[in-house]
A and B are shown apart, each in its own frame.
Chain A
Amino acid sequence: MKNNLLIGLALLLSLPSSFSQEIPIKGKELFGNLKARHIGPAVMSGRISDIEMHPTNANIVYAGAAGGGVWKSIDGGTFFTPVFDEHAQSIGSIAIDPADPDNTVWVGTGETWVRNSVSIGDGIYKTTDGGTNWKKMGLEKSERISGIKINPNNNKEVFVGVMGALWGSSKDRGVYKTLDGGETWENILYINETTGVADLAMDPTDPNILYASLWQFRRSPWSFSSGGENSGLYKTIDGGKTWNKIHNGFPTGKLGRIGLAIAPSQPQTVYIVLETEDSKSNGLYRSDDGGNSWNHLNSNFELVVRPFYFSRITIDPKNPDILVKGGLNGAISRDGGKTFKPLGTMHPDIHDIAFHIQNSDIMFVGTDGGVYRSWNGGVTLEIVENIPVSQYYHVSVDNAEPYNVYGGLQDNGSWYGPSSAPGGVKAKHWNSVGFGDGFRVLKHPTKNIIYSEMQGAANVWRYDVDRIQTKTIQPMAEKGDPKLRFNWNTPMALSKFYPDRFYIGSQFLHKSNDMGDTWVKISPDLTTNDSKKQDQSQSGGLSVDNSGAETHTTIFTIAESPLDENIIWVGTDDGNVQVTKDAGKTWTNTIANIPNLPKNTWCYKIYASNFNKGAAYAVFEGHASGNMTPYAYKTTDFGKTWKSIISEDVIGFARSIHEDYKNENLLFLGTEFGLFITVDGGLNWSRFTNNMPAVAVMYIALQEKTNDLVLATHGRGIIIIDDISPLREVTPEIMDKEVHFFSSKPIVMPEEGGFSEFFGTETQFVGQNPSANARIVYYLNKRHTFGKMEMEVQDVEGNSIASLNPGKSKGLNIVDWSFTSRAPKIAEAKTISFGGFVAPRVPAGKYKVVMTKGKNTFTHEIELIYDTNSLVTSESRELRMNMVKILFDMNEELAYTVYKMNTTIKKAEDLILEDTNAKKVAQTVINDLNTLLKTMVVTTGDNYVASAEPELREKLADLYSSVTNNFDRPTGAHVANFEAIKERYDDAMASYEAIHKKQVARLEDYLKKKDKFPIEFKSFDEFLK
């Protein structure tokens, strides 16, 4: 057996080098334990698409987010945790298996509230362990799943409503059925390539009875259409073998989206909301005969508003006459649908409602702003404060320390907040800087002014933070101008060269040199100006929906070269890439030079390179035309030629790209399904998955001073990867070395200490802070599994300072060191001295990190420096460290003395037991030492409020920790206290010496005389070990 292992080990060691040529620079190990952190925010959560309650355990609630995955609560909705991070984050429908509700849950991905910015799904998933592991069960091309119904008597039989593709035709639509728990599927109701299932319901008393609403719908980048001749309501009573249209009581003409629900307590009662050609016949219908006939009850606003976005009906599980309809504010009826009143105040846009299983006064509501709870039937609502599923469109950062993060959210305004804060980034740290749907938020480079915007540049604000003054500054049409077309997500950009310069794009590029007070157009219409894509007044289909969200043929991205103010790139939503080299006098459309790109593909992002004036990256995506392929290109010659930098590793269509500032081959790409990183200019891409969900990454910023990668995710808020600089050095050569330490800049030792509230925010999400420690980063070519591997910090002379826990992963490892050496050894006593927990901080300077790995030793030098922003002076630090050193040594000397005293007492006590003649000499020693000991250490009491009065040990340790825990020089009080303690310490030591010389010496003589073993002490060094 041992031989097996040895051979195995030998093989392991020899393998990497012999295959070194073939290592592609990609894979999970590239990132090792470089981890993302989430800072939310959850002060405004995000869109929730579906909520499901466990059928028998009211503590368990699942919430599906529009772009933020599945969240599970196991405490009745107080806390939610994400359980679906590895998979598509856009959730259509969740179903808990009624036969195995603790374990088996189905998730259909792809949201069905199909606004313009909606994300996509990639199939149906199942967990059989309550959400820890998920397995994809097919329907990969479904894009959106609107309903999952499980036969309670046979949970292998499952019906799934597939809404299908939003932006194109697809055969993957309709009702699907499995009889083997999802291994195989049969499409049992299909209409055509444009019509999918909007809602699906199963009779709770008879699983053969199902209702399905079919919806004809389509989006394009410039329009939306709801309704058509193929929409309809169907029913089966034979488990899906046959389906019949049940339209008795419906108006004639085309139908749109239909929401439906069966009253759980009276299944013959079915409610639907209907979108029709005639606004008078829109709204709520009720059937009390299982759908054979329908009565129109109500066309109130909440029942007819935006059916594509709101069509959920939820019925009280116990009372068929109480029902709630999602809507702008949501509405509840307590008279069987005759009249409705709005739900209480909460974030608007209500998508789903779930009643508590036992008490219908308790309900959960899913909104555009997160999950709300009501305890009184929807009259008042409170928000769940720990679901950070905000949908960012953009992110930017400033240069403050810590830097701030700015960005706008789907339906949740615009915000900025710190990248770190004492105790973590909390709700209170975020500041609102805009209403409505927020997009770009940009900090003026030199003034405390923030620009923000709301949908389609309806407002562009210039906000003076210090004076709390706001001015709207968006460009407006001048005489002779056509209507200005601003994208819903209007591009704005700052200049690297003039702090007051500001760009905005309509179909023209507008430039201001005075922070938006005056504007000049510096381009002609840069779009295709295709009039067929410009009439949004009829957009929406049966229900006109001209919100501005579909405005098309607009500029979408602006990039001023960081190397030359005259070079500006512009990309348009209708597929143009324009460049000027003379600040807008002339423009060249380079789109024809881009290979293998379908015409009119949306240019989502242009990034002007940091390294070469002619170089730029362009990212395109055609998802709104049904094309889900990722496209990213690079030019180095002002767009004359473009080369694709996408490899087959990239999953999901791409929207954003960022180039590193130091290594032009290090690129970051945001796609619909996460973050991808290349270290070789795009030959190989690796998905970053360390605490990074498969969430849409809409925009990327890279903080120049910290090298933090800051991601705007459309569903999980802001995610930060701290200091990506090690990735700059990754090459095949270092991946082949047994150990490679990455170079590190001198490491600043922060001298900060702040306060944070302890209570009152228990249920709030708290964003993680970055580590404030020194990072030691290295790459291992093999995981270290066998034999010892240790790491310690040494000073330049080789003295051991601190031992660390080294990471053993193959790939990148990051080890934190808190700048401290070891804590002092504290004297033994009855209680614990908490001062002894404190380890002193080392002085600035050079240190060696020494890794021993098997027989090999690897050394890396790091340098620590003081924080230049700190108020503490070098002289103060020296004074503090001197006193810390003295107190540290006194603590250990005291500990050693106490050890010697205890050893002596023990020896004397043992001696008396075996030799009564020794009592006289030994008892004196015991008495004298114990008397002294009581003044040196605590010998009674406990560690809390029954504590004894502190003695020398406690006083010494407390002073030591007080001085050590400060960064500044000791105060006058410290010095005076030190004098007092020192005197007592000296007295105690002198007393000990006196006893030792007299009474203990007599005892030693006695032992010698009687030929007994002498009193033996460990040496001081031995004792400290």
Chain B
Amino acid sequence: MKKIQTFLTAFLFISVLTLQAQTADEVLVNYFENTGGLEKWNALEGLKMSGVANAQGMEIPLEIIQLKNGSQAVIINFQGQTITQFAFDGEHMWSTNFMTMQPEKSDSEATANMKKAAKDFPSPFLNYKDKGYSVEFLGKETKEGTETFKIKLTQDPVLVNGIEEPNVSFHYFDSENFALIVSETQIKEGPAQGQTMTSTMSGYQEVDGLFFPFDMSMFGQGISIKTIELNPKVENSIFAFPGE
């Protein structure tokens, strides 16, 4: 009896300890475990997400394609036209000018920053040490009315108007199930510079053993994902700059 009690006490003590002394790594291990397991995440080669961006009164169909090598594209469908809103093929980042409907290369600084982020697929947290990133557990915080673990992520510094700036973002994982529900980044330039951009994630659903948020919101604009295809077959040409 006494042994059991001791065991129980020890067990309780340990679980209390783990609850209190969360580390960033524990949060991330749980996050990946609960969303499909590290093995599956590491095996993922690419994603094709189809959904709609919802702006008051208008639903704009869009496709987001991301590959492990960093290639990515956001393609919208608008009044019957298929427009590559943004794409990156590992070398060039480009977008479609809405005035001329012609492709235009992004500036070299934005492209350089994108190259640094090419290794982020499918999540900057996956093998973050190998990527040269660092994480820090900053404690608990209430977000979306819910207790979360706050993790600070430091990625490779980015260039902002010629000046190298730290690339720091904050991520909030629901303390009950370790799902990522809120991310915050600081806007580095433009009229909103210095302000925090908050994205929220919800509607997690399973796709072939991995869990993804199907609903995302940024600045009150929602993106609702309808389907996610894992390891899609896509032509590399969709990422390449078509102007050359």
Contacts and interface: CB of A to CB of B under 8 A. Distances in A.
Are A and B subunits of one complex? yes
A130 B165 CA distance: 10
A279 interface: no
Contacts of A788: 203, 205, 214-215
A829 B79 contact: yes
A787 interface: yes
A810 B147 CA distance: 10
Contact of B152 (A12, A129, A816): A129
Contacts of A12: 176-177
Interface in A21-63: 27-29, 32, 57, 59
Contacts of A831: 101
A943 interface: yes
Contacts of B166: 102-103, 129-130
Interface stretch (B67-75, B111-119, B138-146): B138-146
- What's the interface size class on A, roughly? 35 or more
A805 B222 contact: yes
B214 A839 contact: no
B195 A785 contact: no
Contacts of A102: 165-166
B241 to A, nearest CB: 19
Interface stretch (B7-15, B19-27, B52-60, B84-92): B52-60
Chain A, interface SS category:
loop
Interface in B159-196: 163, 165-166, 168, 170, 174, 176-177, 179, 181, 186, 193-196
A1 B37 contact: yes
B243 interface: no
Nearest to A788: B203
Interface in A814-844: 816, 818, 820-823, 826-829, 831-833, 836-839
Interface size class of B (residues with CB under 8 A): 35 or more
A39 B106 CA distance: 36
A733 B98 CA distance: 51
A14 interface: no
In this complex, the member of B54, B177, B211 whose beta carbon has the largest number of chain A beta carbons within 10 angstroms is B177
A57 B163 contact: yes
Nearest to B210: A1
B145 A943 contact: no
A246 B126 CA distance: 60
Contacts of B98: 832, 943
B82 to A, nearest CB: 10
A781 B220 CA distance: 21
B33 A811 contact: no
Contact of B34 (A4, A28, A808, A832): A4
Interface string B123-149: 000000000000000100010111000
Given A29-B145, A74-B193, A133 B100 contact: no
A822 B100 CA distance: 27
A944 interface: yes
Interface string B77-112: 011110000000000000000111110000000000
B58 A822 contact: yes
B205 A810 contact: no
B229 interface: no
A784 B193 CA distance: 31
B202 A129 contact: no
Contacts of A808: 144, 200, 202-203, 215
B80 A29 contact: no
Contact of A820 (B33, B37, B56, B174): B56
B231 interface: no
Interface string A52-87: 000001010000000000001011000101010000
Interface of B: 33-34, 36-37, 54, 56-59, 78-81, 98-102, 138, 142, 144-146, 152, 163, 165-166, 168, 170, 174, 176-177, 179, 181, 186, 193-196, 200, 202-206, 209, 211, 214-215, 217, 220-222, 224
Interface of A: 1-2, 4-5, 8-9, 12, 27-29, 32, 57, 59, 72, 74-75, 79, 81, 83, 102-103, 129-130, 132-133, 780, 783-790, 802-805, 808-811, 816, 818, 820-823, 826-829, 831-833, 836-839, 895, 899, 942-944, 946
